[in-house]
């Protein structure tokens, strides 16, 4: 099973925020996931990120692929 760390959309219309999750790459964007690592709110200025760095580091070391947006978030957070 190939895993990917990506964003899962939540919130209402025009008030979206995203959960950072680990999911099977075959599952849909807002479908089933394996583990939640944190959340990301792009609407607030500055952008707000809450992330469990230990879990994120574990999934990165085990070979989970990172989506481009999650890769940028991890880079800014120092993971």
Cα pseudo-dihedral 34, 60, 37, 71, rounded to 10: -120
pLDDT confidence band for 78 (50 / 70 / 90): confident
Beta bridge partners of 50: 39
Q: Give me the domain span that covers residue 70.
A: 3-77
Q: What's the domain count of the chain?
A: 1
The CATH number given to whatever domain includes residue 15 is 3.30.1320.10
Q: What is the pLDDT of residues 44-70, one digit of tens each?
A: 889 899 999 999 999 999 999 999 999
- The answer to whether 21 and 5 have CB atoms below 8 angstroms apart is yes
Global pTM value: 0.87
What does the DSSP assignment read for 52-73?
-HHHHHHHHHTT-EE-HHHHHH
Owner of token pair 């580091």? 57
The pLDDT, as a whole number, for residue 30 is: 83
- What residues contact 76, with CB distance under 8 A and at least 6 apart? 49
Q: For the chain, what percent of residues have pLDDT higher than 70?
A: 100
């Amino acid at each position: 099973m190939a895993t990917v760390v990506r964003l899962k959309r939540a919130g209402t219309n025009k008030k979206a925020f995203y959960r950072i999750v680990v999911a099977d790459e075959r599952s849909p964007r807002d479908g089933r996931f394996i583990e939640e690592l944190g959340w990301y709110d792009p609407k607030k200025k500055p952008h707000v990120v809450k992330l469990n760095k230990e879990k994120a580091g574990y999934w990165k070391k085990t070979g989970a692929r990172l989506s481009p947006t999650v890769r940028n978030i991890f880079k800014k957070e120092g993971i």
